[in-house]
Structure 1
Amino acid sequence: MVARQKLLLVLIDGLGDVAIPKLDYQTPLQAANTPWLDKLAAGGKNGLMDSVEPGLACGSDTAHMSILGYNPRKYYRGRGAFETMGAGLEMIPGDIAFKSNFAYLDKQSGIVISRRADRHFEGLGPTLCDALDGVKLPSFPEHTVAVKYATEHRCGVRVRGPGLTDTITGTDPLKDNLPLVKCAPTEDTKEAQMTCKLIHELSEVFYQVLSKHPINDERKKIGKNPANCILLRGCGSCIDIPSIEKLHGFKSFLIAPTCIIAGLGMSAGMDILPVEGATGDYFTNFEAKGNAAVTHLKGTIYDFGFLHIKAVDDAGHDRNIDYKIKFLEKIDKMMGDIIRQLNEDSGENEYTIVITSDHSTPVLYGDHSCEPVPFCISRPKYAIDPSLGKGDRVTRYEEVDAARGCLGRFCGSQLMSIAKLYMANN
Structure 2
Amino acid sequence: MGSPAEPKRRVAFMLVYGLGDVSIPKLGCKTPLQAACVPNLDAIASAGVNGLMDPVEVGLGCGSDTAHLSLLGYDPRVYYRGRGAFESMGLGWQCHLEILHSRCDLASEFTYSHKLFPYSFYQQSNFATLDEKTGIVTSRRADRHFEEEGPILCSALDGMKLPSFPEYEVRVRYATEHRCGVVVKGPRLSGNISGTDPLKDNRLLLEAKALDDTNEARHTAAVVNELSREISKILVSHPLNAKRLTEGKNVANVVLLRGCGIRIKVPPFEKKHGLWPCMVAPTKIIAGLGLSLDIDILEAPGATGDYRTLLTSKATAIAHALSAPSQTCPSVFVPGEDEHKPGRSDGYDFGFLHIKAIDDAGHDKATIFKVKGLEAVDQAIGQLAKLLWQAKLTGNFQYFICVSGDHSTPVEYGDHSFEPVPFTMCRLKDFVGAIGGESVVLETSLDPFPLPTVKACEDLNEDIALEAERQCKQVQSFSGDSVFELNEIAAARGSLGRFPGGEMMGIVKRFLKLNA
Tell me if the contact between 1:97 and 1:236 (Cα under 8 Å) persists in the aligned partners.
Answer: no
Task: Please report how far the alpha carbon of residue 181 of structure 1 lies from its aligned counterpart in structure 2 after TM superposition.
Answer: 1.0
Rounded Cα–Cα distance in structure 1 between residues aligned with 2:31 and 2:67:
22
Runs of 5+ in structure 1 lacking a partner?
A: none
Q: Distance in 1 between matches of 2:401 and 2:259?
A: 32
The alignment status of 1:359 with 2:407, answered yes or no, reads: yes
Distance 1:266 1:231 in 2: 25
**Residue matched to 1:13:** 17
Q: Does 1:340 align with 2:386?
A: yes
Percentage of matched positions with identical amino acids: 53
Question: CA 1:330/1:301 → structure 2, altered by over 3 Å: closer, same or farther?
Answer: same
Whether 2:45 is the aligned partner of 1:41: answer yes
1:302 CA displacement: 1.1
* Equivalent residue number for residue 429 of structure 2: 381
Residue from 300, 303, 308 that aligns with 2:349: 303
Q: Does 1:229 align with 2:254?
A: yes
CA distance in 2: counterparts of 1:2 and 1:186, whole angstroms: 57
**How big is the shift at 1:423?**
0.5
Q: For 1:258 and 1:198, how far apart are their aligned partners in 2?
A: 28
User: After the TM superposition, which of the residue ranges 131-140 and 61-70 deviates more from structure 2?
Assistant: 131-140
Aligned length: 426
Q: CA deviation at 1:160?
A: 2.7
* Counterpart check, 1:349 vs 2:397: yes
The CA distance in 1 between the partners of 2:168 and 2:262, in whole Å, is 16
> 1:81: Cα distance to partner?
2.6
The equivalent position to 2:157 in structure 1, one of 132, 144, 150, is 132
User: Which residue of the other structure, out of 295, 309, 313, is the alignment partner of 1:284?
Assistant: 309
Match of 1:145 in 2: 170
Secondary structure of the 2:260 match is strand
* Counterpart position of 2:364: 318
Match of 2:334? none
RMSD of the alignment, in Å?
A: 1.7
Q: Does 1:192 align with 2:196?
A: no
Distance 1:187 1:7 in 2: 46
Q: Is the 8 A contact 2:193 2:211 kept in 1?
A: yes
Work out the CA distance in 2 between the residues paired with 1:186 and 1:42: 52
Q: Could you list the runs of 5+ residues in structure 2 that have no partner in the other structure?
A: 99-112, 114-119, 325-345, 435-475
- Counterpart CA distance in 2 for 1:192 and 1:340 is 55
Counterpart CA distance in 2 for 1:133 and 1:75 is: 32
Cα distance in 2 between the residues matched to 1:131 and 1:237: 28
Instruction: Tell me: higher relative CO, structure 1 or 2? Use CA pairs within 8 A at least 6 residues apart.
Output: 1
For 1:162 and 1:118, locate their aligned partners in 2 and report how far apart those are by CA, in whole Å: 34
Q: Does 1:182 align with 2:271?
A: no
| 8 Å contact kept, 1:10–1:307 | yes
Aligned to 1:170: 195
Q: Is the 8 A contact 2:129 2:140 kept in 1?
A: yes
Output the amino acid matched with 1:340: K
Q: CA deviation at 1:389?
A: 7.2
Distance between the aligned counterparts of 2:42 and 2:164, measured in 1? 59
Contact 2:46 2:477 in 1 (8 A): no
Shift of 1:390: 5.0
Counterpart of 2:496 in structure 1: which amino acid?
L
Give the deviation of 1:388 after TM superposition.
Answer: 11
Give me the whole-angstrom Cα distance separating, in 2, the residues matched to 1:167 and 1:72: 19
1:98 matched residue in structure 2 = 123
Matches within 5 A, 1:51-66: 51-66=55-70
The range that moved more, 69-78 or 400-409, is 69-78
Is the Cα–Cα contact under 8 Å of residues 100 and 233 in structure 1 kept in the other structure? Answer: no
Q: TM-score, normalised by structure 1?
A: 0.96
Q: 2:457: which partner in 1?
A: none
Which residue does 2:82 correspond to in 1? 78
Contact 1:297–1:305 (CA<8 Å) still a contact in 2?
A: yes
TM-score (norm 2): 0.79
Alpha-carbon contact 1:98-1:235 (below 8 Å) kept: no
Cα distance change of structure 1 residues 187 and 45 upon mapping to structure 2, 3 Å threshold = farther
Q: Residue 382 of structure 1: CA displacement?
A: 0.8
Letter in 1 for 2:480: G
Whether 2:155 is the aligned partner of 1:109: answer: no
> Which residue number corresponds to residue 209 of structure 1?
234
Q: Deviations over 1:12-49 (max 9, x none)?
A: 00010001111111100001011111111111010010
Q: State the secondary structure of the residue aligned to 2:256.
A: strand
What is the deviation of 1:241?
2.0
Counterpart contact for 2:477–2:483, Cα < 8 Å:
no
Letter in 2 for 1:330: A
Q: Deviations over 1:136-160 (max 9, x none)?
A: 2233344322211111111112223
